[in-house]
Amino acid sequence: MFSTVAVNGEVTRWEDVRLHDFAQGFFFGAGFFTTFRIDEGTPLFLARHLARLSASISAFPSAVRAPPAELLREEAVRDTLRRCLDADAALGPRFTGVGKLAASDGKLLLTLRPPSPDAERLQREGRAVDSTELGAYRHGEPTPNHKGLSYFRQYTLMASMPLLANERGHACELPTANLFALIDDQLVTPPLEAPCLPGIIRQVLLDAGNLNGMPVVEQDLPLARLAEARACVFTNSAVLVTGVTRLLGRDLPDSLSLAEHLRAHVLRVAAREG
């Protein structure tokens, strides 16, 4: 993480941030966050990220003290980001990396980090998903729909990257990523009540409805049905779309080309939304 950060729109240094200003979030985990990609100084899908963050804060009004509403406006965050990039020569106005907005204790914290060191390799080579965590979630459980609450149970599983499933044996998501499988010529992703995070890239693909004749749909996805998948990808805001080249022991070489196709669509939508 870079030293330059912002608290409630004021640019400062990480080492100068006071712990007691974030006591509720630090000691009790009472807060929410969103992580967004920045390409050459431009945040991708910022309005969508802020809408999701605001929705999570509103869902738990007695547990998380919200920052002032004006700080959650898109133009305010863009201005804060621009001033952070201008203030630090290690960043600069054409910075490419990842931003994170964390809301707790009535404050909004913006931090910045470089791109994931394996992001380019994942785009080229994809990743295998060879294990499952059955019963990781319960069907209809609402907490995984909020970024922050879902992170708690996923953190210890990030290195092994298992497929998280509910007690019904239905696929839900991966740690920090949504899942899409190409089955019967449809691109299928589990519904929010599976449950899973309402990922930004997930919604961008669902909004398309149909991509080159391939319907994009929400459906229950029993683990057994994944044996029918011709290709599979996972999505998140940092790396956009990654091909799953092996899924539960089955090689899926078509996943890389599918990921490339979906990534191109996501970037076109990002360019339109600004």
Per-residue pLDDT reduced to its tens digit, 236-263: 999 999 999 999 999 999 999 999 999 9
- Dihedral sign of CA atoms 181, 168, 136, 60 in order: positive
Mean pLDDT of the chain: 95
CATH of domain 119-273: 3.20.10.10
Query: Tokens 């974030």 label which residue?
Result: 22
The Cα–Cα gap between 254 and 182 comes to: 10
Domain extents for the chain? 4-113, 119-273
Give the Cα separation of 96 and 113 in Å (integer).
Answer: 9
Right CATH number for 4-113 from 3.40.50.2300, 3.30.465.10, 3.40.50.1370, 3.30.470.10?
Answer: 3.30.470.10
pLDDT at 12: 97
pLDDT in tens, 24-40: 888 788 899 999 999 99
